[in-house]
Amino acid sequence: MRLRPVIARLHRWIGLVTAGFLLVAGLTGALLAWYDELDALLAPGLLTAHPSPGATQPLDALALRARVAQAYPHRQVNHVPLSQPPGRSAVFFVAPGPDDTGKPVAQVLVQPYTGQVLGDRVLGQAKRGAQYVMPFIYRLHHSLALGLAGTLMLGAAALLWTVDCFFGLWLTLPAASGSQRRTGGTAGKSWPRRWMPAWWVRWHGGSYKLTFDLHRSGGLWIWAMLFVLAWSSVAFNLAPVYDAVMARGGLSFQATARSLPTLAVPQDQPGLSWQQARETGRRLMEQHASSEGFSVQREDLLYYDPRRALFSYYVRSSLDVRERVGRTVVAFDANTGELRLAWLPTGAASGDTITSWLAGLHMAARWGWPLQAFVTLAGLMVAMLSVTGVLIWRRKRVPRGRAKADLAPATMRP
């Protein structure tokens, strides 16, 4: 059996199965590359905050937490941002309290210079209002707005897409020279010269040739980014499969806070005060930075997990890939301050280093607007490849159907 027809058939059917998923993911991803900018543009009253004449310095993060706790007395304020970009609101998340179960986690926006609570929203809700647009687009991108089922479907589509990246690349390669001679091809040309036409578009060769060339050359020019988007999507949506494949490749991963055991009964209030927890996090992070040889650039987040009685202190360090958020973390006991684990985004474990870079590239979280623009282009290209793939399939399918009709007995024809 010849291999090329088999690969072509697999490429065709994987493309048809995943086309709808990738069309949605590509279009929404093109917008999400500019999530922060578009969110602030659509909801300036919630997302933007500037100094006022009487308040030129932002309040302490824990003072802002106290304001949020006062405004939401029956909720748990366990997510405390320790810094925010200039001109932006402080972003807190409040969870249901012990006597307030059943309500979703809400994002609370606070004016950092005055402590005024500007409002709240539940991310991903399909509600009227410009402030819900970008969070809902993110929900579509991550789970098709279908919860866990949508997440798993997109993860499966991403896994097929990852495999299909290699099928598609293989099909662009020139056929063997012997096959070329048998079919009257370009015998005598070098392999690179025979591959060269796959990279170009015949703009004036008719609609079908244009569609075919856009599909083939479009996939070639950004092939590396397509693979990054596909495999990182598996990491986001189908983590067990991603981890298993990476582990089989000999890559290592650090333990995370999620791997620590949970309590039989959640501890709603930590034993340490929030001030003590921040100081403990700073001390432990400084010690870890000194021993591991990295520098702390900005503290980002202090989070309390009542299921494990655990504080996590996040900073952006010289080991971080993403620029807007820090993922270097130390986690410690919320009652004793004892270090439970530390997690470094790069340099400590090969699997985590690769994953950090995949995630940073996927989310356009490094190098500013040039990468954001490139990820937007890649998202649009994913959508284009999905559409052109379906159009090529339809065009090839119609002649086969007509040929069967022409070969049918006259008595069976209409």
Strands 328-333 and 310-317: what pairing?
A: antiparallel
**Which tens digits make up the pLDDT trace of 3-26?**
888 999 999 999 999 999 999 999
Alpha-carbon span 21 to 157, nearest angstrom: 7
Asked, for residue 79, whether it belongs to a domain, the answer is yes
The rounded percent of the chain whose pLDDT value lies above 90 is: 79
The C-alpha R_g of the chain, in whole angstroms, comes to 26
pLDDT band, very low/low/confident/very high, at 185 (cuts 50, 70, 90): low
Q: Determine the longest span between alpha carbons in the chain, in angstroms.
A: 91
Q: What is the mean pLDDT of the chain?
A: 90
Report whether pLDDT(329) > 80: yes
Asked, for residue 106, whether it belongs to a domain, the answer is yes
Report whether pLDDT(127) > 90: no
Strands 339-343 and 310-317: what pairing?
A: unpaired
Mean pLDDT of 170-195: 70
Alpha-carbon span 359 to 345, nearest angstrom: 11
Which residues 6+ apart lie within 8 Å of 344 measured at CB? 254, 292, 294, 317, 319, 328, 352
Q: What angle do CA 22, 24, 27 make, to 5 degrees?
A: 100
Asked, for residue 295, whether it belongs to a domain, the answer is no
Report whether pLDDT(124) > 90: no
- Residue 231 tokens read as 């495999």
**Which tens digits make up the pLDDT trace of 257-302?**
999 999 999 999 999 999 999 999 999 999 999 999 999 999 999 9
Look at the chain and report how many structural domains it folds into.
1
Model pLDDT, residue 346: 97
Three-class SS state of 310: strand
Asked, for residue 13, whether it belongs to a domain, the answer is no
Asked, for residue 182, whether it belongs to a domain, the answer is no
Identify the helix (H) or strand (E) that includes residue 234: helix 223-237
Asked, for residue 77, whether it belongs to a domain, the answer is yes
The answer to whether residues 209 and 202 touch, using CB atoms and an 8 Å cutoff, is yes
pLDDT band, very low/low/confident/very high, at 183 (cuts 50, 70, 90): very low
| Cβ neighbours around 308 below 10 Å, total | 20
Alpha-carbon span 299 to 249, nearest angstrom: 34
Asked, for residue 2, whether it belongs to a domain, the answer is no
Closest CA to 287 of 339, 353, 347: 339
Whole-Å CA distances, 332 to 76, 102, 306, 341: 19, 29, 12, 7
- Residue 407 tokens read as 């070969």
Mean pLDDT of 381-391: 96
* Residue 35 CA, distance from chain mean position: 12
Its domain, for residue 112, covers: 50-143
The answer to whether residues 74 and 97 touch, using CB atoms and an 8 Å cutoff, is yes
| Cβ neighbours around 372 below 10 Å, total | 20
Report whether pLDDT(128) > 60: yes
Asked, for residue 109, whether it belongs to a domain, the answer is yes
The answer to whether residues 229 and 402 touch, using CB atoms and an 8 Å cutoff, is no
